[in-house]
């Protein structure tokens, strides 16, 4: 496949603007309160027709086998539930660091569900796609819905927040890999935050419960938070490893990324309440 710029489909990053744990399900999964906002930066996907039943992938995250790739699993799931005689060759330009708390894998899966539903005229509703997405990962439904949102449960109970401020963000990932499951299992994690309201969040009364645990375990992430804090209040997204801070304009966000140590990854991007993939779907009437 020779990917052309104009045919690229975005799979945007997300930030968790805050993240609390308010309880636990019977199966051990933690009940969260969080706010998701998208970034106008992320992975990119191209789709090409393939023989019926075939799902192939080019590119993709290093070390993730084709059959484990959430983009491939999303396409296979759609074929299974619809019974359609279709096939697809996916090309994935992986720009988001895997395991960074930016939801790249979940976003890839959501973009595949949304775009193939359109390309294959599968006719599934957004509710259907969000339900399928939840089976692939807790963060997939918000990417399927496409609006910044207040989330509860494990991230599947969503209330749109279409009017959040849309600042520029500086995002920094030090070269560490964080195992989400280990962090959720940490005995020092605060698991009993009193539930808050959207109003409390808007008044700034919320943080990320993983931050103290991650700071203690990963000194480089503590360093990333301190670097950004020299410019603006900094926070962790998801379970890390990325730290972010908000700025009034692109130049200020880029300024906070100067002179990052060797091996660190950083980018500046605009916060957006409408996912770029939905913006593109809305602007693309027919295939
Ligand atoms: C924390 C969040 C916040 O947006 O994002 P990331 O840091 O991954 O981006 C998500 O809730 C991540 O949800 P999800 O995508 O399901 O996480 P996974 O990596 O699959 O979870 C790995 C393991 O963490 C534990 N886990 C995960 C989510 C949850 N609500 N409770 C849990 O206890 C479970 O043991 C699970 O098996
Ligand atoms: N297309 C994909 N992109 C990234 N990670 C993927 C993908 N498919 C499967 N994964 C797996 O999902 C894990 C979580 O990745 P990702 O969603 O990018 O990060 P996070 O959950 O920290 O936001 C990775 O460690 C990787 O093993």
184-221: pLDDT as tens digits: 999 999 999 999 999 999 999 899 999 999 999 999 99
Mean pLDDT of the chain: 95
Question: For this structure, is 173 an active site residue?
Answer: no
Span 239-264, mean pLDDT? 97
pLDDT band at 68 (very low <50, low <70, confident <90, very high): very high
Q: Is the pLDDT at 283 greater than 80, yes or no?
A: no
Domain architecture of the chain: domains with CATH: 5-162 (3.30.230.10), 168-272 (3.30.70.890)
pLDDT at 284: 64
Span 169-183, mean pLDDT? 94
116-175: pLDDT as tens digits: 999 999 999 999 999 999 999 999 999 999 999 999 999 889 999 999 999 999 999 999
For residue 214, how far is its CA from the centre of ligand 1 (angstroms)?
15
For residue 124, how far is its CA from the centre of ligand 2 (angstroms)?
25
ipTM of the complex: 0.96
Question: For this structure, is 139 an active site residue?
Answer: yes
Q: Is the CB of 10 under 6 A from ligand 2?
A: no
101-132: pLDDT as tens digits: 999 999 999 999 999 999 999 999 999 999 99
**Is 106 within any annotated ligand binding site?**
yes
DSSP string across the chain: ----GGG-EEEEEEEEEEEEEEEE-TTSPEEEEEEEEEEEEEEEEEEEE-STT-EEEEE--TT--GGG-HHHHHHHHHHHHH-----EEEEEE--SPTTSSS-HHHHHHHHHHHHHHHHTT----HHHHHHHHHHH-TTHHHHHH-B-EEEEETTTEEEE-TTS---EEEEEE-S----HHHHHT-TTS---PPP--HHHHHTT---BTHHHHHHHH-HHHHHHHHHHHTTS-EEE-TTSS-EEEEESSHHHHHHTTTTPPTT-EEEEEEEESB-HHHHHHHT----
23-40: pLDDT as tens digits: 999 999 999 999 999 999
Span 232-245, mean pLDDT? 97
Write down the catalytic residue from 43, 69, 108, 139: 139
pLDDT at 2: 67
pLDDT at 3: 81
Span 217-245, mean pLDDT? 97
For residue 162, how far is its CA from the centre of ligand 2 (angstroms)?
26
pLDDT at 205: 85
**Is 97 within any annotated ligand binding site?**
yes
């Amino acid at each position: 496949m020779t990917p052309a710029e104009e045919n690229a489909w975005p799979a945007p990053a997300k930030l968790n603007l805050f993240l609390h744990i308010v309880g636990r399900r019977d199966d051990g999964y933690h009940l969260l309160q969080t706010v998701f906002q998208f970034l106008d930066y992320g992975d990119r996907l191209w789709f090409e027709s393939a023989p019926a039943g075939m799902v192939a992938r080019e590119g993709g995250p290093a070390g993730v086998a084709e059959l484990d790739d959430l983009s491939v699993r999303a396409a296979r799931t759609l074929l299974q539930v619809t019974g359609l005689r279709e096939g697809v060759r996916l090309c994935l330009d992986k720009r988001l660091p895997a395991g960074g708390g930016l939801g790249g894998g979940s976003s890839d899966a959501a973009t595949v569900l949304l775009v193939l539903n359109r390309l294959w005229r599968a006719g599934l509703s957004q509710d259907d796609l969000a339900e399928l997405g939840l089976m692939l990962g807790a963060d997939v439904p918000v990417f399927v819905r496409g609006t910044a949102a207040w989330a509860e449960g494990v991230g599947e109970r969503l209330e749109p927040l279409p009017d959040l401020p849309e600042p520029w963000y500086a995002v920094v990932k030090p070269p560490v890999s964080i195992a989400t499951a280990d962090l959720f299992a940490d005995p020092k994690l605060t698991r009993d935050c009193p539930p808050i309201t959207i109003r409390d969040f808007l008044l700034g009364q919320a943080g990320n419960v993983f931050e103290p645990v991650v700071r203690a375990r990963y000194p480089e992430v503590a360093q990333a938070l301190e670097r950004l804090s020299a410019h603006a209040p900094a926070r962790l997204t998801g379970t890390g490893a990325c730290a972010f801070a908000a700025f009034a304009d692109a130049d200020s966000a880029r300024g906070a990324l100067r002179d990052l140590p060797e091996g660190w990854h950083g980018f500046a991007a605009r916060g957006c309440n409408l996912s770029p993939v939905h913006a593109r779907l809305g602007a693309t009437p027919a295939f």
